[in-house]
Amino acid sequence: MPKQSKKRSLRHNMVHCLKCNKPQKCISVHLRRMCMKNNTPEEQATELAEMKDSARLWILESRTWDYKELCGIVPHKPSRVAILKAMLKRHFLVNNPPHEGDLSDDPAPSSSPAASISEATSLTTAAVSSEPDSSDPDAGPSDPTWQKDLPAVTTKVRVKMQAAGLYKKFSGDAEVIKDFKKYLSVDLAVTNCQQEVDNVARFLRYMQPTGDVPTLDFLKKSTETRDFFQDLKNTDMTAATILNYIKNILRFVDYLRNRLDLAATNSEFRNQCQAYKELVETLRKAISKTNSKHTLSTRYQRFVDGTRSLRECQEVLRVAEKEFLQIFWMLINKDSAKVSIQQRTYYRYYLEAILVLRHFQRPGAVEGMSVREWLNRKPVDNMLVIGISNHKTATTQLASFAISQEEEAWFQAYYEHIRPGFIGDLDSCDRFFTSAKGTAVSTVTNDLGRMHERYKVSNVTSREVRRIAETEVDSTFTTSQKEGVARYMAHTTAVAKSHYRMLDPASVVQTAVLLGKLSGCSPQRASQTDETSGQQEDRTFDSFIAAFPVTNDGRPPSQKQRTDAGFSPDRTFYDKWCGLQYVNRRRYLLSLFQMRKPSAGSVSRAIAKEGWQSNHPSADEVVKMWRPASREDVEGDKHVINSVVRQKWKGVSIKNFSGEKGLGVVATRQFARGDILCDYHGEVITAQEGNEKMELIIDEAGYMFFFNFREKHLCLDAQSEYCKCHPQLETVGRLINHSSKRPNVKPAACLLNINSKDTIVILFKALKDIKVDEELKFDYGVKRKSFRGEGLDLEWLEE
């Protein structure tokens, strides 16, 4: 927000007298006449300087609070809420405030691990305050007692767990749980330990159904411990999963001994831990036996039934392909409005299935794929390599895979036509796959199950297909090829770890091609229906586009060219080739207008300039398809970068409104919602430097724009009329006036690469369609009351 300097009359800098602790309008007069009347002028001057420093320091460092910090200082929620309310009443500024709903005074749990333990070991009942209400719909992530909603309970085991009360858990913010997590991640370097922490939190909750603070009384509860495992078993949980719980609980007991070092000081506690470990070990043996039997019977079943081949595992992709392709053509051929929500969802399932069944990605990797990663896909040898860093799997490896151009067109169709409708105005979701409600997909395994059910094909899990692929790889691949596969599948096993070297896109492509051959088809045409396609690889669409690369300017191969190159004279590949070119051309046209929505005329001119006569989208289609660019798109857009550098923004002009309001900015052409209009041009400095500079601004409007970017407090200094880089030019952005009630533009901080240097730029985006002559206004984010108490008479702030 730009901070404004006040009128002279308001410039009485209130300073607290540190002698009487009262605010004084004119501190020097006050000291002279009252609190320091018996002191020398020098002493008064020294004191005065200190008082002013103190006032400045208070404004700079103490008036703004972070609610998260407050949570650390006052863990007791009712007290914290009371303090927060009092602070807000006294005009403190609070960042990251809780949701409105969090301001209710319901008590929250808190305790240090040591406190809980002393309660447990001295065999007293733990302090009981009420249960953190995880069902409170208003509770939000800003509150440490807040628990994320339970994931939609979908699997039968989970439903049963919930019914048996096994799904409740202590908040991850309970000190002992937080500390256990730290122990796992820092001391033991366990990556992705959340599941383990959750299991322990659930176990503790089961053992101690009341109270907010987990105590260590469970160490004395052998019957309940047995019941816990029996109850888990009753939910039909596999023995392997129960064994996992046991492993987690044993590690928790170890943590209590190691981390808190209580065993050294308290022999009773040490004996308790030991006895408890022995109890759990006994239970483990019994359950292990069941597990071994289960494993043996599964192996026997596989032996009897015969294992499915990789190709069989991918059956659902072939069965569903026809319907999928119909949706694809509807999406890209102007019929996207006719594609129902259900079809859109099936389309997404199919893409997820491609990644799991054909590219052997774990569900967590598919769920974690972000838009940025999709946009950063790297073309290598007619394929596209995608890396996923933020995946929810237990491996620290980057997940990566290579898709064919054809697959790319399918994914792009989802990205362009389905995802925007799913996410609506929520631009906060950065995941590539989103549900119809716009939230990140977190159920890839279930989606795969639904796909199989719908097409009546027996289900295959990610684990199964990966295992089968590995078995086939083991018997047919060379050692170095196996290393490539280990990387492609982002293994965690010790064997695979020793194989990891730098993951490079070319080797990802090589492995994708090899794995494609394994399943009896090339990845470029993995859904080939011909059973003998393994031998007929040269007839695939992959080899077709290798022979006739799809370019925006090229022409599709004639029948003669096709047959000469050994392909069928029919038009199947020809049509697909044209489809790819059409999609590419439309993408290219849209990329020309990322900054602003084009008119049909400007698109027609762009098409004419390319000289395309046919197989291109109409100008109207491009206009209709246009969507406001994402932050990633904007950051890479050369038109935006050029406009920032040259400061020649079209369609905006300075207007003198005269009077107090002075100058402002108006539109001289229409803008569509999402268009980028101009930037707030100036020099980026730290917020502290900005504040210091503000102190020196007297009797003039302020043009300092304070903002946060990647957790840094910054300020865009546009105070001087002409900036250093454009000494002859009055830039427009700094002159945009304020409106909190009817803003039509919104500032957004972006990182642009200007002259090979990452530069933070504040861009103004249209919040709605803007008419010619309309004044541009944005919300300075300043209220009369909150504006250092100085804005009380600034009526325009209410606008």
Ligand X SMILES: C[S@@+](CC[C@H](N)C(=O)[O-])C[C@H]1O[C@@H](n2cnc3c(N)ncnc32)[C@H](O)[C@@H]1O
Of the pair 616, 734, the CB lying nearest ligand X is at 734
Least separation in angstroms between residue 658's CB and ligand X is 10
Residues 587-626 that bind ligand X (CB under 6 A): none
The three-state (H, E, C) secondary structure of 205-264, written as one string: HHHCCCCCCCCCHHHHCHHHHHHHHHHHHHCCCCHHHHHHHHHHHHHHHHHHHHHHCHHH
Q: In sequence order, what are the beta bridge partners of 685?
A: 715
Q: What is the closest distance, in whole angstroms, from the C-beta atom of residue 795 to ligand X in the complex?
A: 8
* Residues in Cβ contact with 333 at an 8 Å cutoff, skipping those fewer than 6 apart: none
CA–CA distance, 438 with 467 (Å, rounded to integer): 33
**Element containing residue 44 per DSSP (H, E):** helix 41-57
Q: How far is the CB of 720 from ligand X (least distance, A)?
A: 12
**Please, what is the minimum distance in Å from the beta carbon of residue 10 to ligand X?**
12
Tell me the residue nearest to ligand X as measured from the CB.
662
Nearer to ligand X, 522 or 739 (CB): 739
Residue placing its CB nearer to ligand X in the complex, 62 or 720:
720
Nearer to ligand X by Cβ, of 375 and 701: the residue is 701
Question: Taking the complex as a whole, how short is the minimal distance between the CB of residue 2 and ligand X, in angstroms?
Answer: 5
Helix (H, G, I), strand (E, B) or coil at 195: helix
Touching ligand X, residues 646-675 (CB under 6 A)? 660-664
Q: How far is the CB of 721 from ligand X (least distance, A)?
A: 9
Complex with ligand X: residue 436 or 794, whichever CB lies closer:
794
Cα separation, 432 vs 313, whole angstroms = 25
In the complex, the smallest distance separating the C-beta of residue 785 from ligand X, rounded to whole angstroms, is 17
3-state secondary structure 365-423: HHHHCEHHHHHCCEEECCEEEEEECCCCCCCCCCEEEEEEHHHHHHHHHHHHHHHHHHH
Instruction: Compare residues 436 and 729 and give the one whose CB is closer to ligand X.
Output: 729
Q: Dihedral, CA atoms, 448, 449, 451, 456, nearest 10 degrees?
A: 140
Minimum CB–partner distance for residue 708 and ligand X (Å): 19
d(CA 705, CA 3): 7
Applying CB under 6 A, which of residues 415, 500, 709, 796 lies at the interface with ligand X? 796
Smaller CB separation from ligand X, 398 or 685: 685
Q: Which is nearer to ligand X, 421 or 781 (CB)?
A: 781
Closest CA to 273 of 300, 291, 255, 298: 255
Residue 520: partners with Cβ closer than 8 Å, 6 or more residues away:
310, 311, 531, 533, 534
Q: Is 799 in the site for ligand X (CB under 6 A)?
A: yes
Q: Say whether 136 sits in a helix, a strand or coil.
A: coil
Q: What is the closest distance, in whole angstroms, from the C-beta atom of residue 4 to ligand X in the complex? A: 4
Residues 78-117 that bind ligand X (CB under 6 A): none
Give the residue with the Cβ less far from ligand X, 61 or 660: 660
Distances (CA, A) of 481 to 27, 467, 507, 512, 682: 79, 16, 9, 11, 54
Terminal-to-terminal C-alpha distance of the chain: 15
Report the residue number, 2 or 368, with the smaller CB distance to ligand X. 2
What is d(CA 216, CA 229) in angstroms, rounded to the nearest whole number?
Answer: 18
Evaluate whether 362 touches 393 at the Cβ level (below 8 Å): yes
For the CB of residue 58, give the shortest distance to ligand X in the complex, in Å. 24
Q: How many residues bind ligand X (CB under 6 A)?
A: 16
Question: Of the two residues 617 and 702, which places its CB atom closer to ligand X in the complex?
Answer: 702
Task: Name the residue nearer to ligand X (CB basis): 472 or 799.
Answer: 799
CB neighbourhood size of 358 (10 A)? 25
Least separation in angstroms between residue 777's CB and ligand X is 7
- In the complex, the smallest distance separating the C-beta of residue 663 from ligand X, rounded to whole angstroms, is 4
CB of 766 to ligand X, least distance (A): 18
Q: Is 301 left (phi over 0), alpha (psi -120 to 50) or beta?
A: alpha
Give the residue with the Cβ less far from ligand X, 325 or 663.
663
Kindly tell me which residue out of 687, 701, 729, 754 binds ligand X, with binding defined by CB under 6 A. 701
Q: Which of residues 171-200 bind ligand X (CB under 6 A)?
A: none
Concatenated DSSP letters of 606-664: HHHHHT--SSS--HHHHHHH--PPPHHHHHT-HHHHHHHHHT--TTEEEEE--TTT-EE
Q: Give the C-alpha separation, 233 to 368, whole Å.
A: 31
CA distance 28 to 15: 10
Nearer to ligand X, 257 or 655 (CB): 655
- Which pairing describes strands 777-778 and 737-738: parallel, antiparallel, or unpaired? parallel
SS3 label, residue 96 = coil
Closest approach, Cβ 63 to ligand X, in A, equals 21
Residues 705-744 that bind ligand X (CB under 6 A): 734-735, 737-739
Binding site for ligand X (CB under 6 A): 2, 4, 660-664, 701, 703, 734-735, 737-739, 796, 799
